[in-house]
């Protein structure tokens, strides 16, 4: 059975941005490697949910790590390359069909487990963004707003975001009518209009509203 540690008082102030405080505290106690875990893609109507697990090198932490949502695309790409060059990374994704076969929460938790298992070395501890804790090969700690406060989680969010954006851009080249490269599968007005005109693609999540309610080509 996976042991689950309780949150402690090490959560930095949100105004400080991500720091390496939690990871360094555990490293000094002999708990290492410590992996940060985050997902991207829970809310879109199309495409996979993508999870990254990242173990940062304490001596080579990329400068400028931040909540991926607050970074522009160019800066995310730069940090993505820096993280891959200096950190250990595990990736996992769950496609739309598997999300429909279960639900988005279970699909995300399964991807978190797989991302941790994909790391080159088994982590001694995992810090996961949000409230949910996946089954894992190590103790797991949920950190609310972890992508804004914990360096390894912020790094995981950047890896997951860039990975998923690239996947959606490739998908857009095969299904250009939906504009996936512009909205990454989220339910924008243009995306919903494209679904009404063309119907859903094989990569749409049919269990998500409004798709499950029958949005499709206009009569």
Q: What is the pLDDT of residue 216?
A: 57
Per-residue pLDDT of 74-101, as tens digits, reads 999 999 999 999 999 999 999 999 999 9
Flag whether 38 is marked binding: yes
Percentage of the chain lying above the pLDDT 70 cut? 91
In this prediction, residue 141 has a pLDDT band, given cuts at 50, 70 and 90, of very high
Per-residue pLDDT of 25-40, as tens digits, reads 999 999 999 999 999 9
Per-residue pLDDT of 105-132, as tens digits, reads 999 999 999 999 999 999 999 999 999 9
Our CA dihedral for 162, 140, 96, 215, rounded to 10 degrees, sits at -100
Percentage of the chain lying above the pLDDT 90 cut? 84
Nearest one of 149, 187, 30 to 196, comparing CA atoms:
187
> What would the two tokens of residue 119 be?
């790391």
Q: Find the range with the poorest average confidence among 1-15, 127-141, 152-166.
A: 1-15
Three-class SS of 187-215? CCHHHHHHHHHHCCCCCECCCCCCHHHCC
| pLDDT beyond 80 at 176 | yes
Flag whether 129 is marked binding: yes
- Give me the domains of the chain, ranges plus CATH numbers: 14-174 (3.30.420.10)
Nearest one of 217, 180, 182, 219 to 45, comparing CA atoms:
180
Tell me the whole-structure pTM to 2 decimals.
0.90
Which phi and psi (to 5°) does residue 92 adopt?
Answer: -155, 150
Q: What is the pLDDT of residue 13?
A: 52
| pLDDT beyond 50 at 71 | yes
């Amino acid at each position: 059975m996976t042991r689950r540690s309780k949150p402690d008082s090490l959560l930095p102030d949100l105004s400080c941005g991500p720091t390496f405080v939690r990871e360094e505290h555990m490293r000094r106690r002999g708990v290492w490697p410590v992996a940060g875990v985050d997902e991207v893609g829970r809310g879109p109507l199309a495409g996979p949910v993508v999870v990254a697990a990242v173990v940062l090198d304490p001596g080579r932490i990329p400068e400028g790590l931040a909540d991926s949502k607050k970074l522009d695309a160019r800066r995310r790409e730069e940090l993505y390359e820096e993280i891959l060059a200096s950190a250990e990374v595990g990736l996992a994704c769950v496609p739309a069909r598997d999300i429909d076969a279960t639900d988005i929460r279970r699909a995300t938790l399964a991807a978190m487990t797989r991302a941790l298992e994909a790391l080159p070395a088994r982590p001694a501890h995992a810090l996961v963004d949000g409230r949910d804790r996946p089954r894992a090969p190590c103790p797991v700690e949920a950190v609310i707003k972890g992508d804004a406060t914990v360096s390894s989680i912020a790094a995981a969010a950047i890896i997951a975001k860039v990975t998923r954006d690239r996947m959606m851009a490739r998908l857009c080249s095969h299904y250009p009518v939906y504009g996936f490269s512009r909205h990454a599968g989220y339910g924008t007005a243009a995306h919903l209009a494209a679904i009404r005109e063309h119907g859903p693609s094989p990569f749409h999540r049919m269990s998500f509203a409004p798709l499950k309610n029958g949005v499709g080509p206009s009569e």
